[in-house]
């Protein structure tokens, strides 16, 4: 598996560290029902067989956090985005 | 006359009549319209559940539905190690129950599963790790499980090929469980299947579950590629596919699926006669009766349903092996393969009811499911038959993540790719 880092180009898997599902959003601890929301956020996963948006860090490279869309059935890498851009788009309501 | 029971006499009788009396070890029945219990997943755990439902609870109107063929999943993809060297109260009695069932398995099933109690030796490499293993051994002994702390001279006697004076990871001793060892993994699936079939359980292969029929919060049966099969109760034992199957019933599980690779070398002369684990990395090894070195290491560490892994993990496993026993450096790798692990969020399994009435879950075995096969089947059968958890599996609740009663043997928190 090789991941095309937007800054460094295509690099081997051993340069990257994996965090997991990138679609999880940390709940607001002050909101009602926060306890249940945090349980879901910390423990529950969709765990799809197919396309999965996930967080990787180019830990042994430029150290950027990336949102990689990957097929969990084939390990084929699709779109790679910079996590900061994804978060900014989400913050602006674009996503 | 056909031969039903395997024994030295049946072998001799069949030898004298040209092996014409053997019959298939299990039938290939068409699914009935309805069963008392349908088990989804014909791996080790599902088949063991069916066997103990029939033998212990007398419930034989049972089907095991399997999307592929039995023994084609993780039960045929592991490194065959069995042990009960667990530390935490929720785990120790369960895995010891499993160990005891392994010890009587072949007589129970009338099937040679090659149960070999050759011992499991967990090496330690520092004073701190010695203390941790001594504590683990003491916890085991308090639960009536055998454990002994080995010093270096004793280790040199039983494992002379280890690199004791490795500059980075010197070997200081080991924790040994003599009753641990290996079991022929395929034979476990086949033995349970044959025994369950013999008591009337239908094993239905090439039958994939495509949905559940649920009305007013109660399960009515499963939709499959071979039509609807009604069921009063349904038990899920789907290992790496647990999340996918449970999602069809509207459940979201505390599980991620990850790839774990395993390896076997070319056959060599007798080299290592116990199971040995490296304490400074993740590497475990034993030798099969054919002579191949069977070994493995960590999961690859990212979500996967691919049943194959990547090269960095292979390199990591090989480095662990070379740090531990440099003598294997020129042995050629014969095969390697991957399985899909249902990694739970605390590293411990789930055997419990679900919010859907009549639907039960057996999942979250991480990369340690094989050793648990008999007790998993025993306890899941108990749950399905009595609707109450078995006493040694009472801690394996689905809601423990919400209530804070986690069973985190490794102590790393909610991170499935670290367990």
* ipTM metric: 0.95
Would the pLDDT of A34 be above 60?
A: yes
Q: If you measure CA to CA, which chain B residue comes closest to A38?
A: B402
Contact yes or no for B303 and A75 at CB 8 A: no
Does A65 map to a domain?
yes
Best mutation target among B248, B300, B304, B307 (most A Cβ atoms within 10 Å) is B304
Cα B247 versus chain centre, distance: 23
pLDDT for the residue numbered B2: 57
Contacts of A11 in chain B (CB under 8 A): none
List pLDDT tens digits, range A47-70.
Answer: 999 999 999 999 999 999 999 999
Helix (H, G, I), strand (E, B) or coil at A80: strand
Q: Say if A75 falls within a structural domain.
A: yes
pLDDT of A95: 56
Q: Please list, in sequence order, all residues whose beta carbon lies within 8 angstroms of the beta carbon of residue B74, skipping any fewer than 6 positions away.
A: B43, B44, B239, B240, B339, B340, B341, B369, B370
- CB contacts of A39 in chain B (<8 Å) are 401-402
Q: Which domain holds residue A53?
A: 2-24+48-92
Provide the shortest C-alpha distance from residue A53 to chain B (in Å).
Answer: 10
Examine residue A37 and state whether it is found in any structural domain, yes or no: no
Judged by CB atoms closer than 8 Å, whether chains meet at A36 and B312 is answered as no
- Chain A contact set for B301 (CB, 8 A): 18
Q: Tell me whether residues B302 and A73 touch, CB distance under 8 A.
A: no
Please check the confidence at residue A93 and state whether its pLDDT lies above 90.
no
Contacts of B305 in chain A (CB under 8 A): 49, 72-73
Residues of B in contact with A74 (CB under 8 A): 306
Euclidean distance between CA atoms A89 and B245, whole angstroms: 33
Query: What is the DSSP secondary structure assignment for residue A61, as one 8-state letter?
Result: T
Nearest to B244 among A36, A43, A49 (CB): A49
- Residue B257 has its nearest CB partner, among A12, A39, A47, at A47
**Model's pTM, two decimal places?**
0.96
3-state secondary structure chain B: CCECCCCHHHHHHHHHCCCCCECCCCCCCCCCCEEEEEEECCCHHHHHHHHHHHHCCCCCCEEEECCCCCCCCHHHCCCCEECCCCCCCCCHHHHHHHHHHHHHHHHHHCCCCCCECCCEEEEECCHHHHHHHHHHHHHHHHCCCCCEEECHHHHHHHCCCCCCCCCCCCCCEEEEECCCEECCHHHHHHHHHHHHHHCCCEEECCCCEEEEEEECCEEEEEEECCEEEEEEEEEECCHHHHHHHHHCCCCCCCEEEEEEEEEEEEECCCCCCCEEEECCCCEEEEECCCCEEEEEEEEEEEECCCCCCCHHHHHHHHHHHHHHCHHHHHCCEEEEEEEEEEEECCCCCEEEECCCECEEEEECCCCCCCCCHHHHHHHHHHHHHHCCCCHHHCCCCCCHHHHCCCCCCCCCCCCHHHC
In a domain, A87, yes or no: yes
Q: Using the Cα atoms of residue B375, residue B378, residue B381 and residue B386 in order, give the sign of their dihedral.
A: negative
What proportion of chain B, given as a percentage, has pLDDT over 70? 99
Task: With CB atoms and an 8 Å threshold, state whether A47 touches B256.
Answer: yes
pLDDT of B222: 98
Contact A44 B417 (CB under 8 A): no
Residue A69's CATH number: 3.30.2270.10
B403/A contact by beta carbon, under 8 A? no
Neighboring chain B residues of A47 at a CB cutoff of 8 Å: 243-244, 253, 255-257, 303
Does residue A83 fall inside a structural domain? yes
Residues of A in contact with B343 (CB under 8 A): none
Q: Which positions 1-60 of A are in contact with B (Cβ < 8 Å)?
A: 1, 12-14, 18, 20-21, 36, 39-40, 42-49, 52, 54
Please give, one letter per residue, the 3-state secondary structure of B213-272: EEECCEEEEEEECCEEEEEEEEEECCHHHHHHHHHCCCCCCCEEEEEEEEEEEEECCCCC
In a domain, A52, yes or no: yes
Pick the residue of A22, A38, A43, A48 with the most B CBs within 10 A to test the interface with B by mutation.
Answer: A43
| Cross-chain residue pair B312–A13, CB shorter than 8 Å | yes
How far, CA to CA in Å, does A86 sit from each of A24, A65, B77? 13, 10, 38
Residue B105 C-alpha, separation from nearest chain A C-alpha, in angstroms? 35
Q: How many CB pairs under 8 A join A and B?
A: 68
Q: Does residue A40 form part of some domain? A: no
- Name every chain A residue with its beta carbon within 8 A of the beta carbon of B302: 18, 54, 70
**Weakly modelled stretches of chain B, pLDDT under 50:** 1
pLDDT digits (tens, 9 = 90+) for B390-416: 999 999 999 999 999 999 998 888 888
Query: Looking at CA atoms only, how far is residue B254 from chain A in angstroms?
Result: 4
Number of domains in chain A: 1
Looking at residue A94, its pLDDT comes to 60
Any domain includes A78: yes
Residue from B246, B366, B69, B206 nearest A49 by CA: B246
pLDDT value at position B410? Answer: 86
Is the Cβ pair A47, B301 closer than 8 Å? no
């Amino acid at each position: 598996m090789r991941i095309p880092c937007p800054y460094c180009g295509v690099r081997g898997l051993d340069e990257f560290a994996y965090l997991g599902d990138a679609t999880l959003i940390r709940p607001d601890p002050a909101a009602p029902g926060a306890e249940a929301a945090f349980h879901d956020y910390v423990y529950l996963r969709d765990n799809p067989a197919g396309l999965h948006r996930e967080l990787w860090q180019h830990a042994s490279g430029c150290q950027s956090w990336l949102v990689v869309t990957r097929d969990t059935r084939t390990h084929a890498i699709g779109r790679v985005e910079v996590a900061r851009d994804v978060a900014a788009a989400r913050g602006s309501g674009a996503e | 006359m056909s031969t039903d029971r395997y024994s030295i006499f049946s072998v001799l009788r069949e030898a004298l009549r040209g092996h014409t009396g053997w019959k298939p070890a299990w039938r290939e029945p068409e699914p009935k319209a309805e069963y008392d219990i349908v088990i989804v997943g014909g791996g080790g755990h599902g088949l063991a559940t069916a066997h103990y439902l029939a033998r212990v609870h007398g419930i034989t109107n049972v089907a095991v539905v399997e999307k592929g063929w039995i023994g084609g999943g993780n039960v045929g993809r592991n490194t065959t190690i069995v042990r009960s060297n667990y530390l935490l109260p929720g785990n120790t009695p369960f895995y010891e129950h499993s160990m005891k069932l392994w010890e009587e398995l072949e007589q129970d099933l009338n099937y040679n599963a090659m149960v070999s109690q050759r011992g499991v030796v967990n090496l330690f490499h520092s004073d701190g790790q010695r203390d941790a293993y001594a504590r683990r051994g003491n916890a085991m002994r308090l639960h009536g499980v055998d454990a002994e702390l080995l010093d270096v001279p004793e280790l040199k006697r039983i494992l002379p090929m280890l690199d004791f004076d490795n500059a980075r990871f010197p070997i200081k001793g080991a924790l040994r469980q003599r009753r641990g060892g290996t079991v022929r993994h395929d034979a476990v699936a086949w033995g349970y299947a044959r025994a369950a079939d013999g008591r009337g359980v239908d094993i239905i292969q090439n039958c994939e579950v495509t949905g559940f029929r649920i009305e007013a919060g109660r399960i009515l049966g499963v939709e499959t590629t071979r039509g609807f099969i009604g069921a009063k109760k349904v038990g899920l034992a789907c290992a790496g596919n647990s999340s996918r199957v449970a999602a069809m019933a509207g459940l979201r599980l505390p599980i991620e699926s990850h790839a774990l690779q395993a390896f076997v070398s070319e056959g060599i002369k007798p080299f290592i006669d116990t199971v040995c684990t490296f304490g400074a990395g993740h590497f475990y090894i034993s030798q099969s009766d054919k002579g191949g070195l069977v070994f493995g290491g960590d999961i690859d560490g990212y979500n996967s349903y691919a049943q194959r892994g990547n090269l960095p993990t292979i390199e990591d496993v090989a480095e662990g092996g070379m740090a531990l026993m440099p003598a294997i450096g020129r042995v050629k790798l014969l095969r390697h393969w991957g399985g899909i692990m249902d990694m739970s969020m605390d590293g411990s399994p789930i055997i419990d009811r679900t919010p859907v009435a009549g639907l039960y879950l057996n999942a979250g075995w991480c990369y340690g499911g094989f050793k648990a096969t008999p007790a998993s089947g025993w306890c899941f059968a108990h749950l399905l038959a009595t609707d109450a958890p078995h006493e040694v599996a009472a801690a394996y609740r689905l809601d423990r993540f919400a209530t804070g009663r986690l069973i985190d043997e490794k102590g790393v928190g909610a991170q499935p790719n670290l367990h």
